[in-house]
Amino acid sequence: MEVIKVSAKSRSTAVAGAIAGVIREVGRAEVQAIGAGAVNQAIKAVAIARGYLALEGMDIVCIPAFTEVDIEGQERTALKMVVEPR
């Protein structure tokens, strides 16, 4: 499954559209964010995607977890959110 990576500069509506599209196609989406600003945008995007999918009669849940990622040879802790239908 492809990971949707979110930065602090990401547009939450664009990320929400990507989340909704992946859920429609695959059935679940994985969102990854590093840092407070990125996590803020990711959470807003999940809330917006929930609204998009609710119009189609689908309710989604978000399951958060921490994960370690390698960025330029350095280990960083990221927040990973699995988003899937309830």
How many CB atoms neighbour CB 37 within 10 A?
14
Tens of pLDDT along 52-61? 999 999 999 9
Number of residues that make up the chain: 86
Contact 63, 30 (CB under 8 A): no
- Measured over the CA atoms of residue 17, residue 45, residue 6 and residue 61, the dihedral's sign is negative
Question: Which domains, and CATH codes, for the chain?
Answer: 3-85 (3.30.110.20)
Tens of pLDDT along 43-52? 999 999 999 9
Question: Looking at residue 8, what is its pLDDT?
Answer: 95
Q: Is the pLDDT of residue 30 over 90?
A: yes
